[in-house]
């Protein structure tokens, strides 16, 4: 028996789907019919109105839950490349609220935004991975590890070797944080002696306390180097920068809170404050339009560094912001 379904493809976008052979036996078959009929290529799931929940939409798991003249809705999902399915189809998202939340989440959580405005976009890992050191350092550590496993001999690294190890660790740490906490430094030092047991310290309860203290001072020196070459997240904490602003005290240190990754990214390559302000004004106009969420997402990514630096450096009142 033939069946007809009302299919919601997006905001203000619903169509009728006629199934001459009736409703398919499986959800996958139904999704295949929808793809063929509407020319969709992305990934999505289906929802239907459930009378047990006051006709609210719930996920469709069995086609027996719908019947002739039922209403179903498409929820677009990310595909294998990490992009959203609605990018390959012209239809918009199912409601306007999901647009803003999805855009904000993508900007903050994507490993590398298309704007290229930040070199650091990953949260602190649950297990810190010790980086591959230089060839010279790796040879010395491998030989020392071999001696440790054979006769338990610990390595007493010379000044250059220790400095090279600390430099490598600092370069890896700043991929996640420029202001690591004491617990973060514990993670790094512990991971170091676990990978290279020959570096454990005699007389230390943990075996890595000295490495933790050395890392603490190394990170302070590393921040100074980054500040001198113009890293925005560290430049705002320079004494000269603070004294030029009457709104902040000389001892105020601005650094990321928990879960803040892209804290103070640089402007995208080739962009200036003036060009990004023009982009922001264009974004304000685009938000008032419909069926252009892809363009809005692009402009949000493009202006993220500009808006972020405005919040951190200028500290506007909430009403003004």
Report the b/e string of 257-274 with b at 16+ CB within 10 A: eeeebbbbbbbbeebeee
In this prediction, residue 266 carries a pLDDT of: 78
> Which residue did the predictor score with more confidence, 280 or 315?
280
Phi and psi (nearest 5°) for 104?
-65, -40
* Interhelix angle 182-195/159-173, nearest 10 degrees: 120
Number of C-alpha atoms within 13 angstroms, CB side, residue 150?
6
Lowest mean pLDDT among 130-134, 150-154, 201-205, 232-236: 232-236
In this prediction, residue 227 carries a pLDDT of: 85
Residue 95 pLDDT exceeds 70: no
Instruction: Express each pLDDT in 149-185 by its tens digit.
Output: 999 899 999 999 999 999 999 999 988 888 888 999 9
Average pLDDT over residues 190-216: 92
Please report the DSSP string for 261-316 in residue order.
-SSSPPPPTT--HHHHHHHHHHHHHHHTSSS-HHHHHHHHHHHHHHHHHIIIII--
Q: 63, 24 in Cβ contact below 8 A?
A: yes
Phi and psi (nearest 5°) for 107?
-65, -40
In this prediction, residue 304 carries a pLDDT of: 86
In this prediction, residue 109 carries a pLDDT of: 38
Residue 251: alpha-carbon gap to chain centroid: 30
Structural domains in the chain plus CATH codes:
3-92 (3.10.20.90), 95-121+260-321 (no CATH), 135-229 (no CATH)
Residue 258: alpha-carbon gap to chain centroid: 14
> What is the longest distance spanned by two Cα atoms in the chain?
83
Instruction: Express each pLDDT in 212-260 by its tens digit.
Output: 999 999 999 998 888 888 887 777 777 665 555 545 555 667 777 766 6
| Confidence bin at 99 (pLDDT 50/70/90) | very low
In this prediction, residue 92 carries a pLDDT of: 40
Range list of H helices, the chain: 27-38, 96-109, 135-151, 159-173, 182-195, 209-228, 232-235, 239-243, 273-287, 293-309
Q: 120, 304 in Cβ contact below 8 A?
A: no
pTM of the model: 0.53
> Which residue did the predictor score with more confidence, 237 or 126?
126
Q: 275, 317 in Cβ contact below 8 A?
A: no
Residues in the chain: 321
């Amino acid at each position: 028996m033939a069946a007809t379904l009302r299919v919601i493809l997006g905001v203000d976008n619903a169509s009728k789907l006629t199934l001459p052979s009736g409703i398919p036996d499986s959800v996958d078959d139904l999704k295949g019919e929808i793809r063929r009929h509407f020319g969709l290529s992305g990934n999505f799931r289906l929802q239907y109105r459930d009378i047990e929940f006051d006709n609210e939409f719930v996920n469709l798991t069995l086609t027996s839950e719908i019947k002739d003249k039922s209403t179903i809705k498409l929820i677009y999902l990310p595909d294998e490349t990490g992009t959203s399915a609605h990018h390959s189809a012209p239809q918009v998202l199912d409601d306007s609220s999901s647009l803003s939340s999805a855009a904000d989440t993508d900007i903050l959580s994507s490993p590398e935004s298309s704007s290229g405005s930040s070199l650091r976009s990953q949260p602190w890992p649950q297990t810190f991975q010790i980086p591959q050191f230089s060839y010279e350092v790796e040879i010395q550590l491998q030989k020392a590890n071999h001696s440790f496993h054979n006769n338990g001999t610990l390595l007493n690294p010379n000044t250059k070797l220790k400095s090279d190890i600390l430099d490598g660790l600092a370069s890896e740490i700043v991929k996640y944080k420029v202001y690591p906490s004491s617990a973060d430094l514990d993670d790094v030092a512990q991971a170091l002696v676990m990978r290279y047991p020959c570096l454990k310290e005699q007389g230390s309860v943990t075996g890595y306390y000295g490495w933790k203290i050395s890392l603490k001072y190394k990170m302070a020196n590393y921040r100074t180097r980054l500040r001198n070459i113009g890293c925005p997240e560290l430049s705002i904490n320079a004494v000269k920068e603070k004294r030029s602003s009457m709104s902040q005290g000389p001892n105020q240190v601005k650094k990321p809170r928990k879960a803040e990754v892209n804290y103070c990214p640089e402007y995208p390559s080739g962009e200036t404050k003036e060009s990004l302000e023009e982009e922001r004004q264009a974004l304000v106009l685009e938000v008032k339009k419909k069926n252009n969420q892809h363009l809005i997402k692009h402009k949000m990514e493009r202006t993220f560094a500009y808006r972020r630096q405005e919040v951190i450096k200028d500290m506007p009142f909430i009403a003004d912001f």
